[in-house]
Amino acid sequence: MATSLEIVRIPVLSDNYVWLVHEPDSKATMVVDPAVAEPVLDAAKARGWTITDIWNTHWHPDHTGGNAAIKEAAKAWGGCTITGPAAEFERIPTLDVQVKGGDTVRLGNHIAEVWDVPAHTAGHIAYHFADDAAIFVGDTMFAMGCGRLFEGTAEQMFANMQRLATLDDATRVYCAHEYTLSNAKFAVTVDPENEALAARLAAVETARAAGEPTVPTNIGAERATNPFLRAPSAAELGRIRALKDAA
C-alpha cells in the first residue's frame, strides 16, 4: 500500500496558499499553483525535498507566477515537469505537459484524476487523489465559497459544485486562498437560519483572530455550510454569486 502524501501549506502574497506535496516512497515532490518561487523553494529545502513537478489548475498569474523560477532552480537536481490545463496552454508558456478531464497524473505511487471545472477560467482543472481523499481545486471552490465567474457561467459552476458534492464528506479540499472569513460573513446573509453555518463563522473568527489558517476544508463541512454547494439550481447559484460580487 502506498504511503500517505505529505502536504504542506505555504502562505504567499496577501492571501494565496501554495501546496507542497511530497510522496515519501519515491521522494517525488510536487507544487500546486506556485504564485511565487522563493518561499516554495525555501520550504522544500528546509525539509530536504527536491521539487520534481509543478501542477497548475489555471492560468492566472497568482497560480503560475513561480513556474519559471522554480523550473530554473530545479535544473540543479535534474529538473521538474510542469503540468497544466491543455485548454490554457497558450496562456501558460512554461507548460511541459497538457492535461484535460479524464486524464491521470502521477506523483510517485499516487495517482490523481484530472477534472474539468470551467467557470472561474475557461480551462480550469482540478486534481483528485481518490485514494488519498484529497482534491486540489485552485479557485473553483473555497471554504464556504466559489470562484468568480470570470470566463464561464453559473451553469458551469453549478455543475462543478454538483460533482464535488458526490465526493465523500471526509475528502479534503485544498483551495488556493484564505477567503474563509469573508465568505462566512457573506454566507450567513443568504442562509441565516443555518445553525452549522453560524457555528462555523464563530470558529473561523476565532481562528483568524489568532492568525490561524482555515484551509484545507472538507466536503462534509462545505455540504453543511457552503451556499454555492448547497444551491438547488444554477439560477440560484448565479443569483448569490452576483450578490457576493457586489458585496
Active site residues: 58, 60, 62-63, 120, 139, 177
The values of phi and psi at residue 125, to 5°, are -130, 165
The values of phi and psi at residue 177, to 5°, are -145, 150
For residue 87 the three cell numbers come to 485548454
Distance, in Å, from the CA atom of 120 to the CA atom of 138, rounded to the nearest integer, reads: 10
Note whether 136 and 127 are within 8 A (CB). yes
For residue 241 the three cell numbers come to 454569486
The values of phi and psi at residue 181, to 5°, are -65, -45
